[in-house]
């Protein structure tokens, strides 16, 4: 493959949290590891989140400085390959003329889930690629096709979506009879790329891990989810409520690193251990260490992913696997695309979840080895991103 110039967008600076950082930066790192010239571009027109104060601030000074430190620690060669424009219009990293020149000469502009304001100076590549990491939510923003409510926010997202040429989705069940993702856009399926050397060499021996299943999640303020095809979906909390009694059935302790207004006392009464999500995701290394020290992951998925039978698979879960940590996760339809039973165990009911946990507790070494194998076989950034590039360049630009 010839060397390309690729722009990648994200939210890693606006939301300086370990999990968010890894979600976006692995596209940037992955393309670079394939030998391409890459620019990480972040311009959300939003205020920056300050995790320590649990509030938003207009200035991007602190967030940009933190990102620069994190990126340099991961790959010094990429320390100058980024640009960030905060809500006040202040630019950090590369200069504005450099950003404009890079975008004008780019072969691909990879826009991940509405994470960037599409200024005219940015969108000059012959292929503008949209990556939908939130199937059903994305489609709800396309109201005249997907059946969502045509409010101002949805209209903005719809206009933004139309500017792209090629469309990828984490909804790997797209096109299957049971999948409810509308088929009026020719979505190409993809999944989260994992830069394996950022994780596998930081794995913790099974014997040294806490005998606890963990996850990192948030608790929404209300139950309202997207409307797609005239159907109103719920939130992640709706799925969690179905399994709230699981600790009483589990062979291993269950721990949630939680953000948002969750019912902590009620969760604890049911046997859940609850810790502060920010404390375990304050930076990429702390987040990675929390995942690596876990005996496994246990998690539900958002209601639209599950009820929509989308085939979505969690970015966080892929990171667990890359650390050799098995995952017991709710089935969204991904079982059609990723082998389950060893390393990844899918469930739909409380009984199935409890049985899967017992299997991990009984054969931890076997499941740990299988988890790492699955990460290598199905999430390696070299494979995932090579396929994305090939499909993006080969696809006929779609007209929406």
In sequence order, the β-bridge partners of residue 40 are 8, 82
Q: Do domains 5-195+380-394 and 196-379 have the same CATH topology?
A: yes
State the Cα–Cα distance between residues 34 and 386, nearest whole angstrom. 8
Please list the helix, strand and coil fractions of the chain in percent, rounded to the nearest 5, in that order: 40, 20, 40
Look at residue 304 and give its three-state secondary structure: helix
Angle in degrees, CA 371, 26, 110, rounded to 5 = 130
pLDDT top residue among 400 and 196: 196
Confidence of residue 142 (pLDDT cuts 50, 70, 90): confident
d(CA 102, CA 93): 13
Tokens 């200035």 sit at which residue? 59
Question: Which structure tokens are listed for 183?
Answer: 């088929």
Residue 399: pLDDT above 60? yes
Averaged pLDDT of the chain: 95
pLDDT at 39: 99
Q: What's the whole-number mean pLDDT along residues 5-22?
A: 98
Q: Residue 260: its pLDDT value, please?
A: 86
Residues in a beta bridge with 231? 228
317-364: pLDDT as tens digits = 999 999 999 999 999 999 999 999 999 999 999 999 999 999 999 999
Q: What is the mean pLDDT of residues 256-265?
A: 94
Q: Look at residues 48, 46, 49, 43 and name the one whose alpha carbon lies nearest to residue 111.
A: 43
Percentage of the chain modeled with pLDDT above 90: 88
Give the strand order in the sheet containing 294-299.
273-276, 254-259, 210-218, 294-299, 327-330, 344-347
The pLDDT value recorded for residue 157 is 83
What pLDDT is stored for residue 400 in this prediction?
Answer: 63
Average pLDDT over residues 196-221: 96
pLDDT tops 90 at residue 261: no
Backbone angles phi, psi at 386, to 5 degrees: -65, -45
Using pLDDT thresholds of 50, 70 and 90, give the confidence band for residue 146: very low
296 or 226: which leads in pLDDT: 296
Confidence of residue 68 (pLDDT cuts 50, 70, 90): very high
Which residues on neighbouring strands pair with residue 41, listed in sequence order? 9, 83
Domain boundaries, the chain: 5-195+380-394, 196-379
CA distance 214 to 256: 6
CB atoms < 10 A from the CB of 145, how many?
16
Model confidence band, residue 56 (pLDDT cutoffs 50, 70, 90) = very high
- Residue 131's pLDDT is 98
338 three-state secondary structure: coil
Tell me the pLDDT band of 224, cut-offs 50, 70 and 90.
Answer: confident
Q: What proportion of the chain, given as a percentage, has pLDDT over 70? A: 97
Fold of 5-195+380-394: Rossmann fold (3.40.50)
Q: 3-state SS string over 324-356?
A: CCCEEEECCCHHHCCCCCCCEEEECCHHHHHHH
**What mean pLDDT is predicted for residues 6-34?**
98
Q: Confidence band (pLDDT; 50, 70, 90) for 149?
A: low
The class level of CATH for 196-379 reads: alpha beta
Instruction: Provide the pLDDT confidence category of residue 388 given band limits of 50, 70 and 90.
Output: very high
Per-residue pLDDT tens for 80-128? 999 999 999 999 999 999 999 999 999 999 999 999 999 999 999 999 9
d(CA 28, CA 7): 8
Element (H, E) at 48: strand 48-50
């Amino acid at each position: 493959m010839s060397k390309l110039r690729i722009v990648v967008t994200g939210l890693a600076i606006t939301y300086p949290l370990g999990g968010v950082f890894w979600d976006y930066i692995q596209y940037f790192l992955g393309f670079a590891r394939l030998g391409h010239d890459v620019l990480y571009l972040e311009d959300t027109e939003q205020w920056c989140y300050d995790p320590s104060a649990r509030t938003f601030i207009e200035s991007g000074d602190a967030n940009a400085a933190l990102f620069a430190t994190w990126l340099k620690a991961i790959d010094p060669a990429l320390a100058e390959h980024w640009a960030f424009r905060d809500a006040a219009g202040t630019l950090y990293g590369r200069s504005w003329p450099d950003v404009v020149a890079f975008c004008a000469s780019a072969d691909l502009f990879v826009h991940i889930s509405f994470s960037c304001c599409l200024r005219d100076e940015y969108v000059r590549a012959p292929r503008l690629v949209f990556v939908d990491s939130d199937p059903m939510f994305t489609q709800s923003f396309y109201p005249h096709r997907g059946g969502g409510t045509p409010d101002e926010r949805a209209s903005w997202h719809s206009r933004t979506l139309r500017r792209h040429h090629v469309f990828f989705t984490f909804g790997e069940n797209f096109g299957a009879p049971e999948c409810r993702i509308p088929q009026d856009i020719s979505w190409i399926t993809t999944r989260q790329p994992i830069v394996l050397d950022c994780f596998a060499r930081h794995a913790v021996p099974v014997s040294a891990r806490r005998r606890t299943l963990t996850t990192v999640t948030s608790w929404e303020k209300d139950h309202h989810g997207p409307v797609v095809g005239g159907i109103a979906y719920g939130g992640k909390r709706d799925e969690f409520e179905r399994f709230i009694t699981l600790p009483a059935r589990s062979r291993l302790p269950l721990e949630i690193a939680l953000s948002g207004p969750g019912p902590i006392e009620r969760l604890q009464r049911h046997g859940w251990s609850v810790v502060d999500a920010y404390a375990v995701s304050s930076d990429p290394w702390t987040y990675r260490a929390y995942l690596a020290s876990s005996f496994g992951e246990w998690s539900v998925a958002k209601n639209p992913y599950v009820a929509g039978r989308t085939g979505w698979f969690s970015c966080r879960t892929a990171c667990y696997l890359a650390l050799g940590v098995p995952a017991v996760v709710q089935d969204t339809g991904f079982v059609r695309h990723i082998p389950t039973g060893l390393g990844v165990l899918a469930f739909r009911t409380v009984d199935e979840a409890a049985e899967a946990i017992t299997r991990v507790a009984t054969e931890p070494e076997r499941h740990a080895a299988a988890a790492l194998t699955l990460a290598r076989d199905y999430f390696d950034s070299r494979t995932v991103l090579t396929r994305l590039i090939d499909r993006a360049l080969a696809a006929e630009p779609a007209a929406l």
